[in-house]
Structure 1
Amino acid sequence: MSKEIKHKELIIIGGGPAGLTAAIYASRAKLDMLLIEDQIVGGQVRNSYTIENYPGFKSISGSDLADVMQQQAEELGAEIDEFDMIEKVNFSDDEKIIETSSYIYKADSVIIATGATPRKLPIPNEEKFSGKGIHYCAVCDGAMYEGKVVGVVGGGNSALEEALFLTKFASKVYMIRRYDYFKGEKTTIDEVMNHPKIEVLFNEDLVNVDGEDFMQKAIIKNTIDGSEKVMDMDAIFGFIGTEPKTAHFKEFIELTPTGNIKTDELMRTKVHGVFAAGDVREKEYRQITTAVADGTIAALQAEKVIVEKKKSK
């Protein structure tokens, strides 16, 4: 059976903070729009246990913030299609086609807000123990390790925050850091360094894990003298960065060597009418607030493109 073809003025790909913000602005502008999300709406923000740096909320969970954003967008009239996988796209200055598992869409303008996924740990047994001791979301999987010993690999805010969250369940949390410093906020670093359940292993790197059906051991290598040691651990949570979700777009959109989409300050890509917002694009800082700003700009610029196209008809 051939798929039904639908026309939309604006298609937003991705339902994280950038995409939801774009949907809010597009809905207020009365655009005929659709937000497509291949997973649950909210993006990576749903994995944050507590958010304390988003204006208007002294403290809110990531899932609650995502729910508030989604509710606001939908109440303004945004159409959201959850769990619809994109199969392929075709972008040009004159035509934007997006094919999902359900429909073929033709759009006047597109905002790419697909975000990023956690980078996998570069160890030989990653695949073997994925979900069986190797994890990338403490909020999702931390409760599995009540009273257990776990490790966290990474040195940024995400790793620090996840280590603190894991202390709610684990009896011991090792922070495995290949350098002798962290890159996070000072208040969070201080909290980690002073937490009685957390032990920081500076200048140490995870080189592999081992076990039978589930992970039982972590092999740690000293980055200064090269010595190795085996430590009993029930799980490792990796937070070593993210990889942008741009596989569908690389043929049409200019990417950086790391796979992020190149845009100007108005979120414009090299294809007229195609914009990028949030963690998927090339930029210095990746925060919820910066994603929201990107989504705002992208939606306002997309509206201009759509209005101009109407005038030219």
Structure 2
Amino acid sequence: MTSTLSRAALPTPAPTRTVRRRPPRISLTRALYFVGFLVVTTAIMLPVIIIVLTAFKPASEVNAFPPTLTPTQWTLDNFRAIFSELPFARLIGNSFVFAGGVTLFALVFDSLAAYALARLDFRGSKVLLIVIIASLMIPFQATLIPIYQLVSDLGWVNTFAGLILPRAADAFGIFFLRQFFLSLPRDLDNAARIDGASEFRVFWSVVLPNAIPALLTLGIFTFVNNWNDLLWPLVFTTESDHGTITSGLTLLTGPGGIIPQGVMMAGALIAVLPLAILFLLVQRRFIESVASSGLK
């Protein structure tokens, strides 16, 4: 009886109500930003999309009017033609030798010059820096003929030496690395010198390991610029044995200036693939390098 009364005296719990969460509202400003982002991204990627789709079109659809965006019949004939009409595998190898050689030499000589301008005090260093910066204002086309004359006198036309060595150092790379070296604390250099390290030892064991982000950034920029360059290999090579992808694609122009657009797009797509793979491999490190280095 007592237990029954005690249970009756207990207050009955109120029924729980399930609260429904409303979905988050998307503000008008955020929606406009998203739409603008899609429009700009589509406009930027449209040429790449056209290249990819045209590379898989047959010649009849490439020359059809009005043109179509997507092919109705997918084909690999353009990729077969690019390897049959040109020594494309050799051109790819030449592009790697050219772009990779220029990048390797540029990193070595640019870093040495930048170290001297940033960490060593010698007479005329400021004047030399001004001259290097002033050389950035000179158009590349203005120096093309004198450089070609020098390369021709040395007998380096149609050689990898003529392609690589004139670009073994770059004013922008020297200035870029100098600015980064200035941001490194000099206490590291002084501590190494107190321990008896030579100047080259300081450069190799102290400065360069701390400058890997800047070196990686400059290396990627140099490689991509030389891989995509058309004018330089077109002027200094007249034979396909030492030509690059960009100069080799110009050989597809037929009589009367007729260009096989499908074959050209297939070659351009193959030329872009190594750069895309390279960026995917070093994407995270490259973004970190750009964020941590920069011009200061």
TM-score, scaled relative to structure 2: 0.21
Tell which has more relative contact order, 1 or 2 (C-alpha 8 A, sep 6+): 2
Q: Would you tell me which structure has more helix in proportion to its own residues?
A: 2
Q: TM-score, normalised by structure 1?
A: 0.20
Structure with greater strand share of residues:
1
